[in-house]
RNA sequence: GCGCUUGUAGCUCAGUAGGAUAGAGCACCAGAUUCCUAAUCUGGGGGUCGCAGGUUCGAUUCCUGCCAAGCGCGCCA
């Protein structure tokens, strides 16, 4: 219906002046839920200038050309809105056709979580995980072939420090006097240390060789990665591809990348300000530097370190080159807010190499944990972290997924754990599920589907109109990559259902079932439609509807 | 100091690629259950959309400045 109206308006506007180029997607039709009508468009306001007219004149012109069979009333309101009121008889099973016409079968690579493999997942990773998974579901809903990808940064200083921390723990516990430092703290380090010691006991009889050390740390990393995969898997989040930084390095993309960037005159040899803990002399070696200031970055960025080895940035470019080589033109990364400053350099490098790549990043802001009405102070450095698996265990998968995705991804969020654990109306997910259970109970009790006249009440109309919005909402969530819109819509939709349900308290004729438990075919289709949309929406969120509560 | 994100009701947050009277939940007050599930519904109070300018027919939305909170500001990852 909404789409038809849009199309109708579009055709009229084209007919009015064939020389004016407008796009059908520029036409906005919104749903109204009050006395003004059922739908509204601001087209006359929006286009009056390019039609060399004034809003009210253009509105009149549009109305003159409108096929008005379906409408009870069409009127100009305010500065030039056109408000449409549908005839009552239009509200029937024909009204809703919520098949999504738009399909796009392109391959998409969505990379998310990608936590450093030096510790267990904690609260902050949870948001990225849920948002990434739901976004993947959403892209699949629109036909894309989605690869959910996880990246393991298993090189660099952090890995040395991780190993050192493990050996420190082993040394302490077993009186080995290994000369190691403690960088990471926490029970999990001791657990992994024990595990490593049990597995490699014989190695500790003599001094560890470099290859021994590599074996131990790889074992520890593998252990953590497996834990991570398991934790996320328990929340219904599964990956199609796990990429290791070391494997990407073996493919030796960097020389080709540097050559290509050099040809585009985007790199140079030179010096940058010395890093904080730098001990050598700056003139040891020239660095290879990417001119990211050309792309509005604050500074140019180093691709090689003083010792000639690649920086994290360089390896990350290679990683994205690898994604491209695997056939992905559409890359989406989910990052924490602490990487905001990293976006410009990476996106400019990627698009310099391959302008055809559609690269975008969805940022997830900080999540605070609130308990007993107080924000909990958590610090990873002190080993005082709230592990994600504990959170999921405490609140359950449905709550976890819902509450991590019902706030806009780039706003700061307080996760009130006491509120989530309440199983009542303060918790929106029960509200949504309850409406589904109500529809199911009607369907379960239905005797026969019969053809009768539909009683068109304002509550019924509102539910129909809300169902019509689904197509716009889901498309908007997809285009804007904003998954919270889905949860908000489902809550709102449920509300219209509960209102309709309750209206039968005062008006028994508004019930779905008659005395003989028969239902009109229109209402039956309405209920099925309602269930389908709720099911689709919940499925994208990764939540199963409850048939009974 | 610079950059990014955020600032909307007592609280938690929607809305804003310029549009009509700025919304929801919670909390507070008053009601609804012989009736398909009351885990629900109805009504009510509550707002200078951080502050100040600017752009125009119109700004919570765009621009500038300021204030506040968070994050980032390595050849770390």
Q: How confident is the model at residue A437 (pLDDT cuts 50, 70, 90)?
A: very high
- pLDDT digit string (tens) for A112-170? 999 989 989 988 899 999 999 999 999 999 999 999 999 999 998 899 999 999 999 99
Q: Answer whether residue A529 shows pLDDT above 60.
A: yes
| A16 CA, B58 C1': Å apart | 26
Euclidean distance between CA atoms A152 and A249, whole angstroms:
12
Measuring from the CA of residue A301 to each C1' atom, give the nucleotide at the shortest distance: B75
Count CB atoms within 10 A of the CB of residue A409.
22
pLDDT of residue A276: 61
Write down the pTM of the prediction. Answer: 0.94
Q: What percentage of chain A has pLDDT greater than the value 90?
A: 59
Euclidean distance between CA atoms A318 and A359, whole angstroms:
15
Residue A292 is encoded by which pair of tokens? 């990211």
| A368 CA, B13 C1': Å apart | 15
Radius of gyration of chain A (CA): 29
| A259 CA, B54 C1': Å apart | 48
C-alpha triplet A180, A186, A187: angle, nearest 5°: 105
SS3 A147: strand
Measuring from the CA of residue A510 to each C1' atom, give the nucleotide at the shortest distance: B36
Q: Answer whether residue A101 shows pLDDT above 80.
A: no
DSSP state of A386: -
Which A residues 307-326 have CB within 7 Å of strand B? 307, 311-313
DSSP state of A357: -
Euclidean distance between CA atoms A320 and A333, whole angstroms:
10
pLDDT of residue A296: 84
Which A residues 197-226 have CB within 7 Å of strand B? none
| A217 CA, B2 C1': Å apart | 39
Mean pLDDT confidence for A216-231: 96
Residue A27 is encoded by which pair of tokens? 């036409």
A337 CB closer than 7 A to any strand B atom: yes
Measuring from the CA of residue A437 to each C1' atom, give the nucleotide at the shortest distance: B37
Which A residues 449-488 have CB within 7 Å of strand B? 482, 484-485, 488
A239 or A24: whose pLDDT is higher? A239
Mean pLDDT confidence for A204-230: 94
Length reported for chain A? 549
Per-residue b/e over A9-27, b at no fewer than 16 CB within 10 Å? bbebbeebeeeeebeeeeb
Task: Spell out where A81-160 has E strands.
Answer: 81-86, 107-111, 145-152
A342 CB closer than 7 A to any strand B atom: yes
Euclidean distance between CA atoms A388 and A130, whole angstroms:
12
Inter-residue contact A68 to A86 (CB < 8 Å) = no
Q: Answer whether residue A517 shows pLDDT above 70.
A: yes
Work out whether the CA dihedral A25, A30, A36, A42 comes out positive or negative: negative
| A242 CA, B43 C1': Å apart | 56
A296 CB closer than 7 A to any strand B atom: no
A185 CB closer than 7 A to any strand B atom: no
Q: Kindly report the bases of strand B lying within 7 A of a protein C-beta atom.
A: 2-7, 12-15, 17, 19-21, 24-27, 32-33, 35-42, 57, 70-77
A277 CB closer than 7 A to any strand B atom: yes
Q: Answer whether residue A334 shows pLDDT above 90.
A: yes
Residue at minimal CA–C1' distance from B33?
A505
| A362 CA, B15 C1': Å apart | 20
Closest CA to A357 of A331, A388, A394: A331
| A445 CA, B7 C1': Å apart | 50
A246 CB closer than 7 A to any strand B atom: no
Please, where are the H alpha helices in A359-457? Answer: 388-395, 397-405, 417-420, 428-445
Which range of A171-185, A191-205, A426-440 scores highest in mean pLDDT? It is A191-205
A418 CB closer than 7 A to any strand B atom: no
- pLDDT digit string (tens) for A37-89? 899 999 998 888 888 888 888 899 899 888 777 888 899 988 889 999 999 98
| A165 CA, B5 C1': Å apart | 34
List C-alpha distances in Å: A363 to A237, A310, A431, A482, A500: 18, 26, 29, 10, 38
Mean pLDDT, chain A, rounded, equals 89
Residue at minimal CA–C1' distance from B73?
A341
Residue at minimal CA–C1' distance from B12?
A414
| A151 CA, B10 C1': Å apart | 44
Q: How confident is the model at residue A338 (pLDDT cuts 50, 70, 90)?
A: confident
Which A residues 352-371 have CB within 7 Å of strand B? 363, 365-366
A445 CB closer than 7 A to any strand B atom: yes
* Phi-psi region at A31: left, alpha or beta (left = phi > 0; alpha = psi -120 to 50): beta
């Amino acid at each position: 219906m909404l789409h038809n109206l849009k199309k109708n308006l579009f055709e009229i506007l084209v007919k009015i002046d064939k020389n004016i180029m407008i796009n059908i997607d520029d036409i906005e039709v919104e749903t109204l839920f009050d006395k003004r009508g059922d739908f509204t468009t601001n087209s006359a306001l929006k286009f009056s200038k390019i039609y060399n007219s004034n809003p009210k004149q253009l509105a009149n012109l549009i109305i003159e050309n409108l096929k008005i069979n379906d409408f009870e009333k069409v009127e100009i309101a305010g500065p030039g809105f056109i408000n449409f009121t549908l005839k009552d008889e239009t509200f029937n099973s024909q009204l809703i056709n919520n098949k999504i016409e738009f399909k796009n079968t392109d391959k998409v690579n969505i990379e998310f979580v990608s936590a450093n493999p030096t510790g267990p997942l904690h609260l902050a990773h949870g948001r990225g995980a849920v948002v990434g998974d739901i976004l993947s579901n959403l892209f699949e809903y629109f036909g894309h072939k989605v690869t959910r990808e996880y990246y393991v940064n298993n090189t660099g200083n952090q890995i040395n420090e991780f190993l050192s921390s493990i050996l420190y723990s082993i040394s302490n516990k077993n009186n080995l006097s290994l000369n190691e430092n403690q960088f990471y703290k926490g029970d999990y380090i001791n657990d992994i240390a024990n595990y490593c010691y049990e597995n490699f006991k014989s190695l500790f009889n003599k001094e560890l060789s470099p290859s021994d050390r590599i074996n131990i740390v790889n074992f520890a990393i593998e252990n953590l990665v497996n834990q991570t995969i398991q934790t996320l898997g328990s929340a219904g989040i599964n990956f199609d591809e796990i990429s290791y930084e070391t494997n990407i390095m073996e493919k030796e993309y960097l020389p080709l990348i540097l050559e290509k960037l050099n040809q585009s005159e985007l790199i140079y040899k030179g010096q940058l300000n010395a890093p904080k803990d730098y001990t050598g002399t700056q003139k040891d070696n020239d660095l290879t530097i990417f001119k990211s200031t050309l792309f509005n970055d604050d500074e140019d960025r180093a691709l090689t370190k003083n010792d000639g080895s690649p920086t994290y940035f360089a390896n990350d470019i290679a990683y994205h080159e690898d994604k491209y080589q695997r056939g992905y033109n559409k890359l989406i990364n989910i990052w924490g807010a602490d990487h905001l400053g990293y976006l410009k350099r990476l996106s400019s490098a990627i698009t310099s190499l391959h302008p055809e790549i559609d690269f975008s990043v969805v940022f997830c802001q900080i999540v605070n944990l609130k308990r007993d009405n107080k924000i909990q102070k958590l610090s990873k450095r002190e080993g005082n972290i709230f592990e994600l698996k504990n959170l999921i265990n405490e609140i359950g998968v449905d709550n976890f997924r819902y509450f991590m995705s019902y706030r806009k991804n780039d706003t700061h969020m307080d996760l009130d754990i006491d509120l989530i654990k309440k199983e009542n109306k303060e918790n929106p997910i029960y509200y949504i599920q309850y409406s589904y259970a109500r529809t199911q109970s009607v369907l379960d009790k239905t005797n026969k589907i019969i053809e009768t006249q539909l009683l068109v009440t304002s509550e019924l109309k509102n539910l129909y109109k809300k169902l019509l919005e689904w197509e716009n909402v889901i498309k908007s969530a997809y285009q804007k990559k904003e998954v919270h819109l889905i949860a908000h819509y489902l809550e709102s939709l449920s509300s219209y259902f509960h209102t309709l349900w309750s209206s039968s308290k005062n008006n028994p004729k508004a019930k779905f079932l008659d005395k003989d438990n028969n239902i009109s075919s229109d209402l039956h289709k309405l209920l099925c439609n309602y269930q389908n949309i709720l099911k689709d929406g919940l499925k994208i969120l990764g939540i199963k509807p409850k048939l009974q509560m």
